[in-house]
């Protein structure tokens, strides 16, 4: 599987062009919930990330940012030697869904070379993104459809899935 870097703008256009096939794939997978879906997706995930370096991308850190849980805020505040309340005041806001998120995009902890300044203490959602190694991938199909517009690896995995016989 070839993975090529695409900017979010390019990915949005590509996703729009392939929308019909993507929707058909997701509909089929939701209907059938194939037993081997996790195995197939995990294999594609391992293959993709053995060939693609997130440091050459950082689209997720630049454009979407993680949903934060209180444990993330406590850990990050401790790492920055701040009180959680001061950290929250400086970096965190509530989005329209009521979720806690960083105030700024790109993420305030993204360095110019795409390294994460708080990598060891990064939020749980950053550790889990793009979720293609998660169990019960079936439950993440709608989220994956959306994430295709941000992540070149997810985009490539979904393109591969379209060629398989589900």
**Closest distance between ligand SF4 and the C-beta of residue 146, in Å?**
12
- CB contact at 8 A, 101 and 72: no
Residues 6+ apart with CB under 8 A from 69: 100, 123, 124
Among 137, 150, 156, 158, binds ligand SF4 (CB under 6 A): 150
- With binding defined as CB under 6 A, does residue 57 bind ligand SF4? yes
- Other CB atoms within a 10 A radius of the CB of residue 127 amount to 10
Residues in the chain: 166
Nearer to ligand SF4, 43 or 114 (CB): 114
> Binding to ligand SF4 (CB under 6 A): which residues in 89-128?
107, 109-110, 116, 118, 122-123, 126
Which residues bind to ligand SF4, rule: CB under 6 A? 54, 57-61, 65-66, 107, 109-110, 116, 118, 122-123, 126, 129-130, 150-153
């Amino acid at each position: 599987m070839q993975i090529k870097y695409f900017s979010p703008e390019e990915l949005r256009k590509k996703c729009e062009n392939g929308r019909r096939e993507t929707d058909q794939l997701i509909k089929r997978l939701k209907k059938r919930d194939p037993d081997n879906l996790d195995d197939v997706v995990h294999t594609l995930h391992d293959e993709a990330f053995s060939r693609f370096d997130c440091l050459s991308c950082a689209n997720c850190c630049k454009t979407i940012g993680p949903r934060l849980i209180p444990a993330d805020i406590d850990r990050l505040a401790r790492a920055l030697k701040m009180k959680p309340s001061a950290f929250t005041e400086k970096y965190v806001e509530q989005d329209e869904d009521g979720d806690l998120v960083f105030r700024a995009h790109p993420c305030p902890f993204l360095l110019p070379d795409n390294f994460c300044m708080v990598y060891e203490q990064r939020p749980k959602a950053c550790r889990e993104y793009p979720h293609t190694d998660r169990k019960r991938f079936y439950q993440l199909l709608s989220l994956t459809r959306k994430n295709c517009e941000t992540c070149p690896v997810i985009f490539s995995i979904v393109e591969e899935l379209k060629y398989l016989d589900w």
